[in-house]
Structure 1
């Protein structure tokens, strides 16, 4: 593979699992990371943008541009996740002071420009609320169809299961944080792969997995291990001893699809206010996503571990 085998755009709201996703991408010589766009989500936009810049500094990759995007959802009021990620998004895990400035262009405009410049070539990994992608689609209808693929971490398709959502009983955080944006993206006609909680709960976060990452020995690996430990500490206060590795599954799916299983499906999201806000539901009709249904947990962690070996 050449250095540009995977031209990639990462739209994110770092967030511990976004951070591990970004560092995984940066550790791969076959990923050409064209840009990182940030959005509201796990923390306010100012914090998520700072975190993305700090992670690039940690990895020694100030060549990657960062674009700040949506301050708030399309319709609803912003919601954040301090109980899981801390007020600043990365818990109590220290990072270097960022040295990469933020680009002046809005994230949605930058994404439009990049997709139009390389139609059919770019994989977009979306690991936060989909506001930036929805804004891009509204500003230039059809632009998301220019992506080679869009891999979204969002939703939960365990309909009727005891643990459908992770933010409300029915909704996963990213869809709950901006259900209207999720709806726009689902209706855009793009090549979408959807990774929901039904998939990510198969890739568990445990103290042993944190130790596996720490054993790599690089600064980036120690940071990722610390992020997992901080996450486990926080969910422990909520009565959970095992977590789920959500966002890095998007990078793993792009880089090693053989680690996963999927099937075509039609998925909609609930946008009416009430207890079903942000719920994702599988319905009859023409498929609009490749719904990822099965994951090789050890394979996913192996891929992350090898990527972290290549970073400082």
Structure 2
């Protein structure tokens, strides 16, 4: 795996990443609208948000990407059931990109998008509203309050922008996991997966968010930083230790497809999901690890102080046979266009994982105690 590239010093004010041993400050409640293509790393992002008391999830919208959109919705409903979460609307969105043929990546995330995890069939149901309705009506009902978090292709948001062009000004902020700037792509040599699936939608979104004040510009978590968010077996062992449970055999010398022996349902299913992701990365010569792109973006949505930001004007290449889907950042103002994004250029991965492990361990403990006490079905 390639190491992080050097980024020129920022010319705009930026935040300082928290030190690994420094707890993050208490945050006020953050109303969130979460758009996902769940996905193994989306799954961990959802667990993190469910574990975070400051996260008020107003709705979850589903788009096609890692797996088809309906499977995405089923995965979200099943995780909500497993975690005994409060009622949260899960709405189906676009099942295809706005122009390109649909790509999915079951070879990366498993046939159902959650690796080897076998979640019980959900008892909750998909909303009757379309994802675009959820985006628009939620933003209108809470003007200037909602943070949008998109960890999949930007299709649903682009379609919502066609119906409500004021969305950029109705939202408090947008956080995007997507793109690659000073980093190779992971789908083509120059394109990151979420952008590559639907580059037209990505361009529509970046164009629409132009002209906003600096503190309202979308925060972009691209591969430049998210490929430094490397989950390793010891991170899952730390969760197991904190909840007093066993972890699965996650070492490279164990047989592919090994399943977790954990008693705790959250740890067991999470480990089975992540196991698949580890195996994908090792077979692609990246090591016995898993890049956790989406949980990092979710943490930034709640705690932007985790990230060092740099203003840029971002655009997406739609033409060409080699560079389609490439995200290009103009940091120097060479295009003569105002910045339309705040790109994450640095973070402290250890601080992030300390935070993630603390949160997910607490959630797993609550779920495990409820199950042992007979308050919920295993």
TM-score range, shorter chain: over 0.9
Q: CA RMSD in A?
A: 1.8
Gaps of 5+ in 2: 1-24, 244-263, 368-378
Aligned to 2:219, what secondary structure does the other structure show? strand
The whole-number CA distance in structure 1 between the counterparts of 2:81 and 2:223 is 30
The equivalent of 2:255 in structure 1 is none
Secondary structure, counterpart of 1:100 in structure 2: coil
Q: Is 1:253 equivalent to 2:300 in the alignment?
A: yes
Matched, 1:208 2:234: yes
Find the counterpart in structure 1 of residue 143 from structure 2. 119
Deviation sequence 1:3-56 (CA, Å, 0-9, x none)? 971111110010000001111111112211101110000001121111011110
Q: Is the 8 A contact 1:145 1:188 kept in 2?
A: no
Change (3 A) 1:178 1:198: same
Is the CA contact 2:115–2:274 (under 8 Å) kept in the aligned structure 1?
A: no
| 2:278 matched residue in structure 1 | 232
Moved more, 205-214 or 141-150: 205-214
1:127–1:152 contact (8 Å) kept in structure 2:
yes
Deviates more, 1:182-191 or 1:11-20: 182-191
3-state SS of 1:247 partner: helix
**Which residue number in structure 1 is paired with residue 32 of structure 2?**
8
| Structure 1 residue 222 displacement after superposition | 3.8
- Residues 301 and 65 (structure 1 numbering): CA distance in 2 closer, same or farther, change over 3 Å? same
Which fold has the larger relative contact order, with Cα–Cα distance below 8 Å and residues 6 or more apart in sequence? 2
TM (norm. structure 2) is: 0.78
Q: Name 2:253's counterpart in structure 1.
A: none
Report what 1:307 is aligned to: 359
Structure 1 partner of 2:192: 172
Q: Which runs of 5+ in 1 are unaligned?
A: none
Distance (whole Å) between structure 2 residues aligned to residue 68 and residue 147 of structure 1: 21
CA distance in 1, matches of 2:185, 2:110: 20
Task: State yes or no: 1:35 paired with 2:55.
Answer: no
Report deviation, 1:230.
Answer: 1.7
Instruction: Give the deviation of 1:143 after TM superposition.
Output: 1.4
Query: What corresponds to 1:195 in structure 2?
Result: 221
